[in-house]
Amino acid sequence: MDEREERVIEFVVTASDADCRADAAIAQAAGLSRSAVVRLMETGAVTVDGVPAEKKQRLAPGSLVTILLPSPETAAAEPEEIPLDVVYEDEDVIVVNKPKGMVVHPAPGHEHGTLVSALLWHCGDSLSGIGGVARPGIVHRIDRDTTGLIAAAKNDAAHRALSAQLASHAMRRTYEAIVVGGIDAAGTVDAPIGRSRTDRKKMAVLPPGAAGAREARTHYAPLERFSGFSHIRLELETGRTHQIRVHMSHIGHPVLGDEVYGANRTPFERRHAALLEGQCLHAGRLRFLHPRTGAEMDLTAPLPLPFEKLLAILRETEG
């Protein structure tokens, strides 16, 4: 999702919210404070079926509530001397192997220690400005606790070229994961993703055509099968927020260590929590056409050591 889409909240009024005061029901459903909802209503930013909402009005089941949240003030990222594992770099693009725990760009609560800050230190003024002050050069992103390859553009022409490849699916992103349950054959999850109707901090699979739902496709194939777990390869055809994690959870195979989209932690996860520290997901291969030369770029990053250790433990258990 882009930033503008993430600033829109939409949901359909359920029977449990019906006949409740709009300010209270909307605050509860959207995960906002009641006073914040009232302030938004006063500016016309909250509508019910397209009509500006009043705080004391009663909601009818099936009505569509839309909330337009104002864009937060974006703080400029500051350069920080943070070591980077640079896989490839030239005058147009830099590709790094992001470690677990590093946030890509600044966000509330994560203003420092970001990949953007490290890139600003490493590249100086040579990052593309298209991404704005908070995430200059960034073309795509991966979650904080996902490891692996991420590309950044060092000039605006490269940024436009790489963004076009991302939009047309010409940029190929391949992941590896350990998931709960047995996967014996390759498959595709083709299910729209949007903001969860029950927890606004999460993403979820939504019905086709639902408000806020965007097409999402993930291809997967087994690499190794263990008792209760599988090591798989995944390729993104689209790139929605938390896509792999949402899709794998949707088909009953959450990513090992995923505390957000995993239903319950398995005994194996509890025993090896120190190795996991978040989902066991690695962006290990990135393919794209060089933005200046058109050359085919095929870059890889090895599995991180904790991932390798978990695989070794699973193999020993099988033996």
Fold (CATH) for 3-68: 3.10.290
| Whether 143 is catalytic | yes
Q: Which pLDDT score is estimated for 255?
A: 97
8 A C-beta contact, residue 135 and residue 77 = yes
pLDDT at residue 71, rounded to an integer: 61
Whole-model pTM: value is: 0.77
- The closest alpha carbon to 139, from 285, 313, 286, 300, belongs to 286
In the set 143, 190, 199, 298, the catalytic residue is: 143
Asked if residue 6 has pLDDT above 80, the reply is no
| CB half-sphere exposure, 16, CA atoms < 13 A | 4
Same fold yes or no, 3-68 and 86-167: no
86-167 topology per CATH: Pseudouridine synthase (3.30.2350)
Q: Which fold has domain 174-290+296-318?
A: Pseudouridine synthase (3.30.2350)
State pLDDT tens for residues 49-86: 888 888 888 888 888 888 887 665 555 778 999 999 99
> Where exactly are the structural domains of the chain?
3-68, 86-167, 174-290+296-318
How many Å from the N-terminal Cα to the C-terminal Cα in the chain?
Answer: 43
Q: Which two tokens stand for residue 48?
A: 């019910």
Q: List pLDDT tens digits, range 249-294.
A: 999 999 999 999 997 788 999 999 888 888 999 999 999 999 999 9
The single-letter DSSP state of residue 293 is T
pLDDT of residue 7: 64
